[in-house]
Structure 1
Amino acid sequence: MESDTAPRPSTRGRGRPVGADAEQTRLTILRAAREVMAERGYHASTFQQIAARAGVSRPTLHYYFGTREQVYDVLLTEVGAQVTDCVAQARREHGLRPQLTTFITAMQQLSAADPEVMRFLVTARLERCKPPPPRQDAAQAVVAAVHAFYDTIVLDAVRRGELAAGTDAHAVADMLASLFWGTAFHAGFLDEAGDGSGVARQLLRVLENGLLEQSVKAPVQA
């Protein structure tokens, strides 16, 4: 006679994957969502488009993610962690040039390994300018990590005497951040290779050797 306390088989909803299949489906959805949002932006992306790109049904998509904002938050958190890791690699170096070189190299390697990440990163940056901005805190964290990195290393360079005492550190940091976003845009949308390697190499040459070998006087307006 069987005991009333014998374990019963677990139940789950029909058609819902378990274990490794469930994780693979989740990753497929996230990849599809990142592609769609990188192409269309957050506001213009829909669950239907994401489901179609992932090859799953709408109910399956809702099983994994309740809202579009939840998907976007997960994607921003992931790319934020990747950028933070590149920053951490650079911060372990000593000196402005090694830090800049390491950061550029790390971001280029990230782009080479996953070309879509730069497109999504730039699109997320632009989405912050559209009202109402989605997940302001998550997007802001990614942007802030980049700008804080440049602010910190330039200020440290001024303190160490690598840059002249009168250097406008925040202006230099803003310039470097502008170069970063411009390079990311080029890698994500314009570079056929999709990794920004050509621009990254040229930036490294500029940092190491200077843009001009000789000083050039500014033109005098008549």
Structure 2
Amino acid sequence: MHNETLAVTGGRKRGRPAGSDSEQTRRTILAAARDTIAERGYRAATFQLIAQRAGVSRPTLHYYFDTREELYDTLLADVCARVRQCAEVAAGEGSLRRQLAAFTSELGRLGAAEPAMMKLVVTARIDHHRAQYRHDAAAEIVATVHGFYDAAVADAARRGELPAGTDPRAVSDMLSALFWGLGFHAGFLTPGTPVHNAPEVARQLLALLDGGLLNGSLGAPSAT
């Protein structure tokens, strides 16, 4: 991988297009790559498609990023940093319920500003899980999400917020599964719906958790 090729500060490379606005062009390419990969997945997002969407030539694209892998890693590293910021804000809350609500709210703001963001996160998770395109940055996104839930549930257990006998690992895994399921739902199953719908689904899930999800006793199956 070529993570050192071009820093966010927009350093010069040999052959820079004459008269170009280096940082603006770079941002345009990253936005085009993010949207193309979110829509098509990493495998189908060719340099040619990304260049066309960005409105630049292939040589210009190669000036900023030597390989598609370098471009992808740059995108995922940025996404990971943003998800980590959301987790850090949420971790400062004083209860599990408030931490979950804050994490959802922070991610919702990200999704509202950049609708392809959550779809890219889920696409990276799927590609990484398939072991076809194992990128360190994708693994770091997954670790950041799961690390947030692990820490939040462990803190809740120490504060006595969970019933006696609760398995913290199982609760953390459940919350992580809800996160990825909600992300998949918002990014792939409800295309074209308003961005605020995903946080609304999350609020309903929190309300169910508040009530105990299955608060009553289950009756025996009816005979047929």
Assess same fold via TM > 0.5: yes
Quote how far apart the aligned CAs of 1:207 are.
Answer: 3.8
TM-score if structure 2 supplies the norm length? 0.85
**Code of the aligned partner of 1:120:** L
Quote how far apart the aligned CAs of 1:14 are.
Answer: 7.0
**Equivalent residue number for residue 111 of structure 1:** 111
Work out the CA distance in 2 between the residues paired with 1:113 and 1:207. 28
SS at match of 2:32: helix
SS at match of 2:163: coil
**Equivalent residue number for residue 198 of structure 1:** 200
**Code of the aligned partner of 1:193:** P
Work out the CA distance in 1 between the residues paired with 2:170 and 2:52. 45
Aligned length: 207
**Equivalent residue number for residue 10 of structure 2:** none
**Equivalent residue number for residue 95 of structure 1:** 95
The answer to whether the 8 A contact 1:47-1:58 is kept is yes
Q: Structure 1 pair 14/220, CA: closer, same or farther in 2 (3 Å)? A: closer
Please tell me whether residue 60 in structure 1 is matched to residue 74 in structure 2: no
Give the number of the structure whose alpha-carbon radius of gyration is greater.
1
**Code of the aligned partner of 1:52:** Q
SS at match of 2:164: coil
TM-score if structure 1 supplies the norm length? 0.86
**Code of the aligned partner of 1:130:** R
**Code of the aligned partner of 2:49:** Q
* Further displaced range: 152-161 or 68-77: 152-161
- 1:1-222 pair list within 5 angstroms: 13=15, 15-18=17-20, 21-135=21-135, 137-191=136-190, 192-195=193-196, 196-211=198-213, 214-220=215-221
Cα RMSD of the aligned pairs, angstroms, is 1.9
SS at match of 1:128: helix
Q: Structure 1 pair 189/217, CA: closer, same or farther in 2 (3 Å)? A: same
Q: Structure 1 pair 150/218, CA: closer, same or farther in 2 (3 Å)? A: farther
**Which structure 1 segments of 5+ residues have no match?**
1-11
The answer to whether the 8 A contact 2:26-2:64 is kept is yes
**Which structure 2 segments of 5+ residues have no match?**
1-13
Runs of 4+ residues deviating >4 angstroms: none
The answer to whether the 8 A contact 2:104-2:199 is kept is no
State the Cα deviation string for residues 43-88 of structure 1 (Å, max 9, x = none): 2221111101111000000000000010011100111011001100
State the Cα deviation string for residues 13-61 of structure 1 (Å, max 9, x = none): 473444xx21111001001101111111112221111101111000000
SS at match of 1:111: helix
Identity between Structure 1 and Structure 2 (%): 55
**Equivalent residue number for residue 7 of structure 1:** none
